[in-house]
Amino acid sequence: MKCPHCGHEDSKVTDSRTVDDTVRRRRECLDCGFRFTTYERIQTGNLVIIKKDMRREEFNHEKLATGIRKACEKRPLPTGTVEKLVDDIETGLLNLGKAEIPSSVVGEIVMDRLKELDHIAYIRFASVYRDFADITSLKREVDTLISGRSPASQLPLIPEGEFNTPDRRKRASPSGRL
Ligand SMILES: [Zn+2]
């Protein structure tokens, strides 16, 4: 598991807990000490994405996360925001109760959520996804954003105090054994 801060390959697990069918692990980079969280889940495998060319592909959590992470790179978002967003979107997709979902629907959902979260991340994602033909169509999208809701209405995604578990962390073995 690469450190999102410095890219170092090794991290130790400082806390681990299971919520529903997901294991949440608090990790600490062995190189720079950066703390981050990973989520592990059983592959559900019953959601299929229909791509633009009509090919079918199994829904891939990591692929969705990568696209969103890229769009949010270096944006001033609280730690865990991207993972929370990806989880929310995935849960929303599964809750649609459909076996197959067009990739365009997934793209629209992601853009809607990013628009609420961070306008720069949204424009980044949209410019890749919508493949703006020229600077005029990109400008039109930016103008729509500026004339619309103010960024001040953007909501925090992470509830306060969720990761405050100092007691558990202290008890965790240094080797990160579970
Ligand atoms: Zn690091």
As a three-state string, the secondary structure of 33-99 is: CCEEEEEEECCCCCCEEECCCCCEEECCHHHHHHHHHHHHCCCCCCCCHHHHHHHHHHHHHHHCCCC
Lowest mean pLDDT among 6-20, 55-69, 111-125: 6-20
Q: How does pLDDT run across 3-45, given as a tens digit for each residue?
A: 999 999 999 988 888 777 677 889 999 999 999 998 877 555 5
The C-alpha atoms of residue 103 and residue 36 are separated, in whole angstroms, by: 29
The C-alpha atoms of residue 114 and residue 68 are separated, in whole angstroms, by: 8
Confidence of residue 172 (pLDDT cuts 50, 70, 90): very low
Q: Supply the pLDDT for residue 43.
A: 56
Tell how far the Cα of 119 is from the centroid of ligand 1, in angstroms. Answer: 28
Tell how far the Cα of 1 is from the centroid of ligand 1, in angstroms. Answer: 11
Does residue 170 have a pLDDT over 50?
no
Tell how far the Cα of 128 is from the centroid of ligand 1, in angstroms. Answer: 28
- Higher model confidence: residue 38 or residue 138? 38
Confidence of residue 129 (pLDDT cuts 50, 70, 90): confident
Tell how far the Cα of 83 is from the centroid of ligand 1, in angstroms. Answer: 18
**Contact in structure between 11 and 38 (CB atoms under 8 Å):** no
Tell how far the Cα of 10 is from the centroid of ligand 1, in angstroms. Answer: 8
Tell how far the Cα of 11 is from the centroid of ligand 1, in angstroms. Answer: 8
Question: Residues near 79 by Cβ (< 8 Å), separated by ≥ 6?
Answer: 35, 36, 37
Percent of the chain with pLDDT over 90: 35
The C-alpha atoms of residue 178 and residue 171 are separated, in whole angstroms, by: 11
**Contact in structure between 93 and 99 (CB atoms under 8 Å):** no
Does residue 118 have a pLDDT over 90?
yes
Confidence of residue 75 (pLDDT cuts 50, 70, 90): very high
Residue among 16, 11, 44 nearest 30 (CA):
11
**Contact in structure between 145 and 122 (CB atoms under 8 Å):** yes
Helix (H, G, I), strand (E, B) or coil at 12: strand
Tell how far the Cα of 3 is from the centroid of ligand 1, in angstroms. Answer: 5
Lookup result for tokens 């459909």 = 98
In which order are the strands placed within the sheet that holds 56-58? 56-58, 48-50, 100-102
